[in-house]
Structure 1
Amino acid sequence: MATCAEILRSEFPEIDGQVFDYVTGVLHSGSADFESVDDLVEAVGELLQEVSGDSKDDAGIRAVCQRMYNTLRLAEPQSQGHNQVLLDAPIQLSKIAENYDCDMKLPGPLKREQSSTVNAKKLEKAEARLKAKQEKRSEKDTLKTSNPLILEEASASQAGSRKESRLESSGKNKSYDVRIENFDVSFGDRVLLAGADVNLAWGRRYGLVGRNGLGKTTLLKMLATRSLRVPAHISLLHVEQEVAGDDTLALQSVLESDSVREDLLRRERELSAQIAAGRAEGSEAAQLAEIYAKLEEIEADKAPARASVILAGLGFTPKMQQQPTREFSGGWRMRLALARALFASTFISDSPALQSQMCVPLLPSEPTNMLDVRAILWLENYLQTWPSTILVVSHNRNFLNAIATDIIHLHSQRLDGYRGDFETFIKSKQERLLNQQREYEAQQQYRQHIQVFIDRFRYNANRASQVQSKLKMLEKLPELKPVDKELEVVMKFPDGFEKFSPPVLQLDEVDFYYEPQHIIFSRLSVSADLESRICVVGENGAGKSTMLKLLLGDLAPVRGIRHAHRNLKIGYFSQHHVEQLDLNVSAVELLARKFPGRPEEEYRHQLGRYGVSGELAMRPVASLSGGQKSRVAFAQMTMPCPNFYILDEPTNHLDMETIEALGRALNSFRGGVILVSHDERFIRLVCRELWVCEAGGVTRVEGGFDQYRALLQEQFRREGFL
């Protein structure tokens, strides 16, 4: 078959050399953009029509383009997927541009060396069309490559109240309560909340609870972004993103979160500079005096001390408080974000003008996930005296018992409020559900009794009026719904039990460091067997995760010996497990890639063991909630049936029901367990042995968690936190 160049020469023997070079260049470089012959006609048809003069009509030009299009398609297999056209000679676009006195964006100077019969404007127009098509395709390909998975976004809608709107616009709404009624929240096509109400009374501390994936964190985002209508005079702080790393010192980063204080200090510096330079016009001194009065009113001079206390409570040493934020890991930057929110929200002024700016309900999402036991206990004590409103998502049962005055339960696309802490909520919910079920059953019996009468005398003329009366009674009865029973979460770790002579896992006289001047462990000796239920606690940075990696064999001791039984199979759950999952595939496909060659039913059954079933198992992992991703990670970890588990903060992001199920699964598992956790209830549920990681070693606490908690409380008293 003739090449495109040969077709052009035969069909247009008088074709201008520059046009020939241009057309063959388009065919060579842009053939992938020609999805049909129409695209090719659009790119070069107008130029070819001009070259042909009157010798070819539109149908003739299209026929030539069809021949060239067929040639390009046939050339594809020979070029291994790349559309190539054999040309008579090399193409130099710079030479083409030199021959036209037009503003073509081609390299090289635009000089006219010889005359040409080509219409330069039409040539430029054709090139522009081709370039636009190529850019559009390139943009589409880039989007597919850089973002292969486009996730749905949450949206909220809310019924408006004219009275509230008038009150808000007039500026007369001085209440610090947050009342949002009759709103919906959706995530794509999935409805999370329908006709829900939220009432947050000023000064109350609310815990938002519910199963994973129902929309708790999404609701916080809707509030924080004001997708739901919140009074304008109430500020909202949502602790979600970690602090950006730069050269700002940690302490200064916290101080800067108080925008009122920062604005006053900035204005004070500007006015002082003007007065010192002699540029003051008279009013500056009065303004400066007013600013000094406001700074004194908000006790600005005490701010560094308050910020330092908050940072110290969250684990920042004096040295760390003077480090740039860029030197901290993601977990410590999250602590900084929490410290900023705590600091910015602590000051409530007697001045109405300042108070309206400082009225800040705190909205942290699972704040205890980033904290060790010591920091959690400090935060509990700190928040118990909190002056404003708190709405917090947490799955830490003891934390909610310590700080919550109210519980908001998200379930069945609605929100139910309860007074009291989490234990009170559990009792109240059970009583409410029991009463609801009793009312429903009583009504069903009453309905059935009336229906029997109606069915018996429906066709009895003497009882017609009574039947009609009974029918009206049925219509007037309120429609009660049965109790929505939440499915029990069940987790089961397959047994890999074999009797090994202890110890099956041991570190003997181990020294370890990343840098010789910073020794993490010195003469560390620990051991575990297949009956061990060991919990490791300690402050962040004490070396808990490092010790787990030494036990795993991922890190080699500098000195000393790691011993592991030859038949030991360890399952490891990392605190950063989400980073190890492929978020662009479904949970089923994830297991299929990790453990190929098994039927799909086996992958589904494995995921079902951890509550990832039905449609959830086929959704992209990226669209799952944090707790659902954790369940996928558990399914992946247990697939090879290990006989020993090392778990690094496994309860992060799990709801309370799943945490309880995880505890039961570990208790019934026939094998060894070593875990790091900061969840007090989970530790009490699972662990028989407590190791405290501190001062370059590990200490076994004989009294368990009670003794460890008492030691921390005593330390707080000595340091003046209590």
Structure 2
Amino acid sequence: MAELLDQKQIQKLICSSVPGVDDVIVEYVQGYLNDAAAAIANSEKTDESENPVEDLIRPMLEDAAGGAGDIDGLCEQLSKLLQEVEQKADPQKGSKLAKLAAPVNMVAQQAQINKVTRAQVAGTDLAHTKGRTVASQVDIKKLRKAEARIAAKMEKRGIKSRYEASKLIDENPLDDDDLLMKVNPILDYTSTRDKIKDIKVDGFDISYAGKRILTNSNIHLVFGRRYGLIGRNGIGKSTLLRNIAHRELAVPTYISILFVEQEMAGDDTPAIRSVLKADLFREQMLRDEAAINDELKRLEEPSPVDERGEVMSKHEIDAKKNEMGDRLNSIMSKLQDIESDKAEAKAGAILNGLGFSSSDFERPTKSFSGGWRMRLSLARALFCRPDLLLLDEPTNMLDIPAVVWLERYLRTWKSTLLVVSHDREFLDEVATDIIHQHSEQLDQYRGNFKSFWSTREERRKNQMREYESQMQYRAHLQDFIDRWRYNANRAAQAQMKIKILEKLPELEKPEDDKVVTFTFPDPESISPPVLFMDEVSFAYTTERKILDHVNIDMQMDARVAIVGPNGAGKTTMLKLLIGKLNPTSGIVHRHGRLRIAYFSQHHVDQLDVKLTAVGHLRKMYPGNTDEEYRRHLGAFGISGMTALQEISTLSGGQKSRVTFAGLAVQQPHFLVLDEPTNHLDMESIDALTNALKQFKGGVVLVSHDERFIDSVCTEMWVCAEGKVTKFAGEGIKDYKKMICPPEDQ
């Protein structure tokens, strides 16, 4: 196709206005402008509202510039080039493009507002020389439509465009895993050690499912510090982590990111091998080493051939050997630098710390349960040691020894850590900083959770005093203005007061902490014996007993915590208590009128996520009216339209509240709870604690949350090695010291 525009001139304009711009963007703009000029020159009908420079090219160049460069001047010059083409084609239409290239650029403003909207990204990234990968601001749907229109015009004229389609368009949209691989490629982390790895992003917005999560927010992560991200259930903490992991926030591409959100998929790979494979750079180096060694062996064979199938000369063989030798030396140097020979020992130590025995190392990953595969995901991330590690509730699937090990391991973490957790003890041990997400904003505090709690309260009091002081001052000014603005002697003073009032910054009233309350209905009393086990043993197979000769007696005032390592039989014991399992031998006695409500740690898997919260209760516990179901949901903070949303749209904590409401519907005498604090925010944990204290029935629970156990339970039973025995110490802290002695001992 004939070039109507000077391509060298366009390239010079772009490169001078946006220094270091990628060639793919220059080439695209050249081709797109030339196609647009061809359409204009042929006097083809166009939509008056369309402007190729403002609609598509400006957002792309602003994206590539990353805030630098003279984009306004560049777009004005590109518009003039098209305008000149139009004037030559039809002098009467010379004003059309000038009118569209108005100073107020609404399209660019809208693109800036939608900067982090994933629906607009559609798997597209723009990498530029500033070392960042950011979400493209170009509307891919509009781009695809525009290029289809130009292609149709070219075909109509029988002309084939030299630039058939934008390289920014990916016809096969990526799923989440593929996108993560695309934005987190294999990095040679031996070459990035001296680079600045702080992350600072200002003025960003995040929305999810039509709901605004963050507005004009700022986040600053200093390399080497450990940040605890806290906030209410449903506030968008996991969404923020996901946006960072997908690099929808402008994180430099040389900073490696790993997000541990869900359990890994199981296959035939041995557990320790799955951990080693997580270090993609090491794996690539080992593959390259093996390939080079194979090539060197081939070159030692008689009469080796080259890529064309011709026998290589001695000179060619020697040159190839030298080339392979240099590459091998470079790879060996990098493998030595990352201590590749110690990798298996490091992986084994991490697996041991997270509760895996040596015999588990060679087990295929598919043989582990979901909770253990979640631990494998965590082990893989810790082994990789990314520059930025993102963890979402990492302690949920861990027992107390594993939590203690993880706390100690993360205290030595040399890279940046951002962790979502509602475990206050864990945050006190691990976090150096706290990020509080609330009211579509992020507030950062130095120190651990205990320090945050005291600082936040003091900051809130100061903000409230400042707000009240300003409101009084505003009222004083307004009173003076109302009284004297029409008095000739005081009019000048009144006008001065009006100017002062207009210039006063508007302070927002600090939000009140919403008090969360849970309520379980009090049951009618029943006479003892209520619930006991007598010489109970249980085994899934004849090879090993899970529980052996267990004796335990519980009355209506029972407040029992069952603790012990994972796999010791705690959940099995709970299922024996409620009748989900039958003992191999012995007796489990339950009072004839006893109603037991059971909260499973896998309760989310039992919810029909296509139903609403009300619909779920109606399906599981029929016989009540919708008003009664909504009353029970309201007692656990699921009120208003939230009760009528699909469960799939609720956060993990909100799903837990729906399950608690289901327990309340059953009017239980006994609550049997397996890890009930998983997914709950701190306010909800406090509300659950108070509700259990006030509940008149019995409570049996399994938990790793020290504060929760101390607050609720009056006795502890240790489940280990097939036995269940009452703990003789003072509480959970004594038990923790017993099984995990302080490091200095």
Residue 462 of structure 2, aligned match among 419, 429, 435:
435
Alignment partners' CA distance in 1, 2:416 and 2:343: 21
In the alignment, the residues of structure 2 paired with residue 713 and residue 514 of structure 1 have an alpha-carbon distance, to the nearest angstrom, of 30
Q: Is residue 537–residue 586 contact of structure 2 (8 Å, CA) maintained in 1?
A: yes
**Separation of aligned partners in 2, 1:443 and 1:306:** 58
Partner of 2:171: none
Unaligned runs of 5+ in 1: 1-152, 159-163, 346-358
Q: CA RMSD in A?
A: 2.1
1:197 aligns with 2:197: no
Could you say which residue in structure 2 is the equivalent of 1:167?
Answer: 130
Q: Aligned to 1:207, which of 204, 220, 228?
A: 228
Distance 2:607 2:559 in 1: 27
Q: Residue 484 of structure 1 aligns to a residue in which SS?
A: coil
Moved over 6 A (4+): 169-173
How far 1:421 sits from its partner (Å)? Answer: 0.3
User: What is the rounded CA distance, in whole Å, between the counterparts of 1:462 and 1:168 in structure 2?
Assistant: 64
Deviates further, 398-407 or 636-645: 636-645
Choose the corresponding residue for 1:535, options 557, 561, 564: 561
Counterpart code for 2:203: N
Q: Which amino acid aligns with 2:292?
A: L
Deviation at 1:165, TM superposition (A): 7.1
Secondary structure in 2 matching 1:653: coil
How far apart are the structure 1 equivalents of 2:702 and 2:118? 37
Q: How far is 1:276 from its partner? A: 3.0
What corresponds to 1:596 in structure 2?
Answer: 622
Residue 293 of structure 1 aligns with which residue?
333
The whole-number CA distance in structure 1 between the counterparts of 2:377 and 2:693 is 36
Taking structure 2 as the reference length, what is the TM-score of the superposition? Answer: 0.71
The answer to whether the aligner puts 1:254 opposite 2:275 as a matched pair is yes
1:221-232 equivalences under 5 Å are: 221-232=242-253
Match of 2:690 among 664, 673, 677: 664
Deviation of residue 713 (structure 1)? 1.9
Aligned residues: 547
Name the counterpart of 2:321: 282
Secondary structure at the aligned position of 1:322 is classed as: coil
Equivalent of 2:368 in 291, 309, 328: 328
Asked whether the equivalents of residues 156 and 184 of structure 1 are also in contact (C-alpha less than 8 Å), the reply is no
1:699 to partner: Cα distance: 2.0
1 CA distance for matches of 2:202 and 2:389? 20
Paired letter, 2:694: S
Aligned to 2:436: 409
The residue type equivalent to 2:670 in the other structure is F
Q: Look up the equivalent residue of 1:196 and give its one-letter code.
A: S
The yes-or-no answer on 1:383 pairing with 2:410 is yes
Deviation at 1:606, TM superposition (A): 1.0
Q: Which amino acid aligns with 1:452?
A: D
Q: Give 1:206-605 correspondences, 5 Å limit.
A: 206-277=227-298, 278=300, 281-283=320-322, 284-345=324-385, 359-502=386-529, 504-605=530-631
**Secondary structure at the counterpart of residue 443 of structure 1:** helix
Say which SS state the counterpart of residue 638 (structure 2) adopts: coil
Question: Unpaired runs of 5+ in structure 2?
Answer: 1-115, 122-126, 134-190, 302-316
**Aligned ranges for residues 654-693 of structure 1 at < 5 Å?**
654-693=680-719
Q: Find the aligned partners of 1:165 and 1:261 in 2 and give their Cα distance.
A: 26
Shift of 1:181: 1.0
Deviations 1:486-545 (A, max 9, x none): 31100011100404224x111111111010002111111112111111111111111111
Over residues 427-475 of structure 1, what are the superposed CA-to-partner deviations in whole Å (9 max), with x where a residue is unaligned? Answer: 1110111000000000011111111111111221111101100100100
Cα deviation, residue 154, structure 1: 7.3
* Structure 2 CA distance for aligned equivalents of residues 565 and 293 of structure 1: 71
Select the residue among 156, 163, 184 that pairs with 2:205: 184
Structure 1 residue 635 displacement after superposition? 0.3
Please give the alpha-carbon distance, in whole angstroms, between the structure 2 residues aligned to 1:241 and 1:448.
Answer: 53
Pick aligned residue for 1:650 from 640, 659, 676: 676
Supply the AA of the counterpart residue of 2:374: M
| Alpha-carbon contact 2:132-2:252 (below 8 Å) kept | no
Give secondary structure in 2 for the equivalent of 1:367: coil
Question: Structure 1 residues 154 and 323, CA, compared in 2 at 3 Å: closer, same or farther?
Answer: farther
Distance 2:279 2:631 in 1: 52
Report SS of the residue matched to 1:514. Answer: coil
| Cα shift readout 1:579-637 (whole Å, capped 9, x = no counterpart) | 22121111112222333343322221111100000111110011100000000000011
- Contact map agreement 2:132 2:250 (CA 8 A) in 1: no
Conservation of the 8 A alpha-carbon contact between 1:157 and 1:228 = no
Q: How does 1:82-161 map to 2 (within 5 A)?
A: 155=118
Q: 1:476 Cα deviation (Å)?
A: 0.7
Change (3 A) 1:291 1:710: same
Q: Deviations over 1:270-298 (max 9, x none)?
A: 22222234266322233323322222221
Cα distance in 2 for partners of 1:453, 1:254 equals 72
The answer on 1:713 being equivalent to 2:744 is: no
Q: Identity over aligned residues, as a percent?
A: 51
Larger Rg: 1
User: Counterpart amino acid of 2:705?
Assistant: D
Map Cα deviations across residues 72-128 of structure 1 (whole Å, 9 max, x no partner).
Answer: xxxxxxxxxxxxxxxxxxxxxxxxxxxxxxxxxxxxxxxxxxxxxxxxxxxxxxxxx
In 1: Cα distance, 2:724 partner to 2:528 partner = 24
Counterpart AA for 1:551: L
| Pair 258,169 (structure 1): closer, same or farther in 2 beyond 3 Å | closer
Contact 2:522 2:697 in 1 (8 A): yes
The one-letter amino acid of 1:656's match is M
Q: Structure 2 CA distance, aligned partners of 1:550 and 1:312?
A: 30
Cα distance change, pair 330–492 in 1 and its aligned pair in 2 (3 A): same
SS of the residue 2:251 aligns to: coil
Alpha-carbon deviation of 1:155?
4.0
In structure 2, C-alpha distance between the alignment counterparts of 1:459 and 1:244, rounded to whole Å: 76
Describe the SS at the equivalent of 1:368: coil
Q: How far apart in 1 are the matches of 2:129 and 2:273?
A: 41
Q: Secondary structure at the match of 2:130?
A: helix
**CA separation of 1:571 and 1:305: change in aligned 2, threshold 3 A:** same
AA of the residue aligned to 2:259:
H
Distance across 1 between alignment mates of 2:639 and 2:201: 34
Query: Which amino acid is 1:432 matched to?
Result: R
